[in-house]
Chains A and B, each alone.
Chain A
Amino acid sequence: MPITKSAVQHIANLARIRIETTDIEQYTVDLSRILELFQQMDSMEVDDKEPLAHPQDIELRLRDDVVTEPEIRQKLQSVAPKIHQGLYSVPKIIE
């Protein structure tokens, strides 16, 4: 089933990616083709097979509750685009 342009726009919005209006057409075509590929799954019988989320059947390992990380704000913020008084700076957000 093909995907509509407005659905493409909606997804782009969800994914916070700006798509120029001139490009929406191409994205719609490309994504439709990929969705056609997905149709191959329709005929597969899976019954009640348990979805496989982790390839190895392991349990979550538990870490002791100890502080192990030192304070390295300077190092970590050395790669930041914009810092103001130790805070990551973003455009004003109004609640």
Chain B
Amino acid sequence: MPYRQTLSSIVGMLNRNDISSVELVQCFLNRIEEHSELNAFISVDAEEALKQARLSDEARARGSINSLSGIPIAHKDIFCTTAMATTCGSRMLKDFVSPYNATIVELLSKGGAILIGKTNMDEFAMGSSTETSWFGPTRNPWHKDHVPGGSSGGSAAAVAARLVPAATGTDTGGSIRQPAAFCGLTGLKPSYGRISRYGMIAYASSLDQGGPITQTAEDAARVLQIMAGFDKRDATSSNREVPNYLDHLQDPIAGLRIGVPRNFVDDAVHPEVVGAIHNSLKEFEKRGAKLVEISLPSCNAAIPCYYVIAPAEASSNLSRFDGIRYGYRTDSFDDLDELYKKTRGEGFGLEVKRRIMIGTFALSTGYYDAYYRKAQQIRRLISNEFESAFKKCDYIAGPTSPTTAFGLGEKTNDPVSMYLSDIFTISANLSGIPAISIPVGFDNRGLPIGLQLIGRSFDEQGLLNLAHSYQQVTHWHQEIPTEFS
């Protein structure tokens, strides 16, 4: 069954003509339709996907092949696509069809990938559970009454349920890594600037990064290879050369030092998660890595720091949604003031409005120094601390999330408790360094547990190596939820 295969495997199958792209795409389209209860997708264009698959098969027959030719892929509905709507999980953009494609959408398309659909997400990427979407929550394939994580929950659920071999996500405070952990997948947040943000609808501009959500590190390497690189349309994009990630994937990890922060495995972390993390670290030791104890005290301030900076930037980024040039517009208004206030009051959901308000407050006169400026100074502290830590170790390990996937509706009444679940992921965004989550076990309810590895700036290669090495001797990444196998 092709859907059970990894992306790398499927590439092989296509190359050997064991299967055609049309058969492949049809297979996944069937599964997507079969499992609509997951609500992983917002838009699917079956006709267009099959047409692209046909063209891909024809090109392949002529000998014209790219690295992801014929592979169906799903984009988080935050990446602009001309082929179908880009909603950001919001009423504000529910019918919006972008006149242009995001850079990574174009890159993946040029790389041969076939866009099968856009996945569900927390509204405007603000959330950790994919429960704030205008289109309803997405369910975790491992346990349908539980959340898949967020904000890239739709992408994670789709890959976990094998509705698509790989999907893209975005990560501002953990939104790729945490859903990957909750769904038993490999999710990579590259270094800030590694992947172009052009066409990736902005939530917090200095924190957002796009990245792959896949079954394995090898799959992630293939997708990252296409997504990464300089884009002249993004002034924050890095022109650092993109290495060939697959070439060095098999490099041995002996001698690498893995730092384990004291405060990453404390009381707040669920004991089953702690157990799985410890076991995974033993595996790394067996493979020759050295464990080193390190300390990152400032990370305790990471949560308030993030929840000042991200909403502040978001409050500004979302000002363009005013019903004038695109998007939702309220039905009736007497004047300009009403047009703005009703459009934005009706177009945005509750969590988005909360964050816009907090962000506006943090930037306002009299509060800027105490909140925004102070948060940016703490950010500097956190970043410096990572730099110091990386003198003692090469990678930093810990749980991706303090718990496994919580129940639908469990945290929706208390925004702050939702925020606290980001404790381990946000510091990598604040510092702009890369981090990956890989599956390392299950809790006694069968919910996946994720290990996070953080690396130095632009060391995506090293993270993929470590992850790949672990995946050579473990099987967690191969597990598929029973209902979907």
Which secondary structure characterizes the binding site on chain A?
loop
Q: Nearest residue in A to B318 (C-beta to C-beta)?
A: A15
Contact yes or no, B376 A52, CB < 8 A: yes
Q: How far is the CA of A49 from the CA of B383 in the complex (A)?
A: 11
- Known A-B contacts A11-B364, A80-B326; the reply to A41 vs B206 at CB < 8 A is no
Residues in A whose Cβ lies below 8 Å from that of B432: 55-56
State whether A15 and B360 are in contact (beta carbons under 8 Å apart), knowing that A56-B193, A56-B238 are contacts in the complex.
yes
A81 sits at the interface (CB 8 A): yes
- Within the complex, which residue of B97, B206, B322, B339 is in contact with A55, where a contact is CB–CB below 8 Å? B206
Give bound CA distance, A19 to B346, whole Å. 10
B345 & A19 in contact (Cβ 8 Å cutoff)? yes
Interface size on B, residues (CB 8 A): 71
Does chain A have a CB within 8 A of B55?
no
Interface flags for A14-43 (1: CB within 8 Å of B; 0: not) read: 111111000000010011011101111100
Q: Are B304 and A54 in contact (CB under 8 A)?
A: no
Given known contacts A52-B376, A80-B325, is B371 in contact with A38 (CB within 8 Å)? yes
CA A39 to CA B334, docked complex, whole Å: 41
Is A90 a contact partner of B324 (Cβ separation < 8 A)? yes
Decide: A37 and B419 in contact? CB cutoff 8 A.
yes
Given known pairs A52-B379, A53-B376, A79-B99, the reply for A11 and B329 (CB within 8 Å) is: no
Distance in angstroms from A56 CB to nearest chain B CB is: 5
- Given the interface pairs A17-B348, A58-B236, A75-B99, the reply to whether A53 lies near B298 with Cβ below 8 Å is no
| Residues in A whose Cβ lies below 8 Å from that of B235 | 60-61
Instruction: Tell me the smallest distance from the CB of A51 to a CB of chain B, in Å.
Output: 3
Q: How far is the CA of A78 from the CA of B82 in the complex (A)?
A: 12
Q: Does B232 contact A (CB under 8 A)?
A: yes
Chain A residues contacting B329 (CB-CB under 8 Å) are 81-82
The answer, among B99, B191, B324, B356, for a CB contact under 8 Å with A15, is: B356
How far is A17 from B323 in the complex, measured between Cα atoms in Å?
12
Once the chains bind, are B354 and A49 in contact (CB under 8 Å)? no
A53 touches B419 (CB 8 A): no
Nearest CB of A to B237, in Å: 9
**B236 interface neighbour in A16, A54, A79, Cβ under 8 Å:** A54
Q: Mark B271-310, 1 if CB is under 8 A from A, else 0.
A: 0000000000000000000000000001011011101100
Chain A contact-residue range equals 35 or more
Flag whether B416 is at the interface (Cβ < 8 A).
Answer: yes
Q: Does A38 lie within 8 Å of B357, measured CB to CB?
A: no
Q: How far is the CA of A38 from the CA of B431 in the complex (A)?
A: 19
CB within 8 Å of B: which A45-72 residues = 46, 49-56, 58, 60-61, 63, 72
Annotate B9-27 by CB proximity to A: 1 below 8 A, 0 otherwise.
0000000000000000000
Assess whether B360 is in contact with A55, with CB atoms less than 8 Å apart.
no
Question: Which of these, B98, B305, B323, B340, contacts A81 with CB under 8 Å?
Answer: B323
Interface: B358 (CB within 8 A): yes
- Nearest chain A CB to B345 CB, angstrom units: 4
User: Which of A49, A72, A80 gathers the greatest number of chain B CB atoms within 10 Å?
Assistant: A49
B344–A88 contact, CB under 8 A?
no
Contact A17 B378 (CB under 8 A): no
Tell which of A16, A30, A76 touches B341, judged by Cβ atoms closer than 8 Å: A16
B192 interface residue, CB < 8 Å from A?
yes
Q: Tell me, yes or no, whether B392 is within 8 Å of chain A by CB.
A: no
Chain A residues positioned under 8 Å from B96 (CB to CB): 79
Tell me, in angstroms, the Cα distance from A19 to B238 when the chains sit together. Answer: 41
A79 in contact with B381 (CB, 8 Å): no
Indicate whether B333 reaches chain A with its CB closer than 8 angstroms: yes
**Interchain CB contact (< 8 A) of A17 among B238, B324, B344:** B344
Assuming the A-B contacts A11-B357, A15-B356, A49-B380, are A41 and B301 also in contact, with contact meaning beta carbons closer than 8 angstroms in the complex? Answer: yes
> Residue of A at shortest CB range from B415?
A30
Q: Select A18's contact among B307, B323, B344, beta carbons within 8 Å.
A: B344
Q: Are A37 and B416 in contact (CB under 8 A)?
A: yes
Alpha-carbon distance between A2 and B379 when the two chains are bound, in angstroms:
24
Shortest CB distance B240–A (Å): 9
Contact status A46-B374, CB under 8 Å:
yes
B347-383 contact mask (Cβ, 8 Å, vs A): 1 or 0: 0100001101110111010000001011111111101
Docked pose: A79 CA to B362 CA in angstroms: 33
Q: Which residue of A lies closest to B336 (CB)?
A: A91
Chain A residue at minimum C-beta to C-beta distance from B93: A79
With A17-B357, A81-B324, A91-B334 known as contacts, the answer to whether A52 contacts B383 (CB < 8 A) is yes
Closest B residue to A40 by CB, please name it.
Answer: B304
Could you tell me if B383 and A55 are in contact, using CB atoms closer than 8 angstroms? Answer: yes
For B379, list chain A residues within 8 Å (CB): 51-52
A54's partner among B206, B334, B358 (CB-CB below 8 A) is: B206
Pairwise interchain contact A17-B307, C-beta atoms closer than 8 A? no
Residues of chain B lying within 8 A (CB to CB) of residue A49: 377, 380-381
Contact indicator B383/A17 (Cβ below 8 Å): no
> 10 new A-B pairs (CB below 8 Å) besides A17-B341, A55-B430?
A16-B341, A17-B345, A27-B357, A31-B358, A41-B305, A41-B371, A51-B380, A55-B192, A56-B191, A79-B325
Could you jot down 8 A-B contacts, CB within 8 Å? A11-B364, A34-B307, A38-B307, A40-B300, A40-B304, A49-B380, A51-B379, A54-B236
Those 8 A-B pairs whose CB atoms lie nearest each other, nearest first: A55-B432, A51-B376, A18-B345, A18-B341, A16-B340, A46-B377, A52-B380, A81-B329
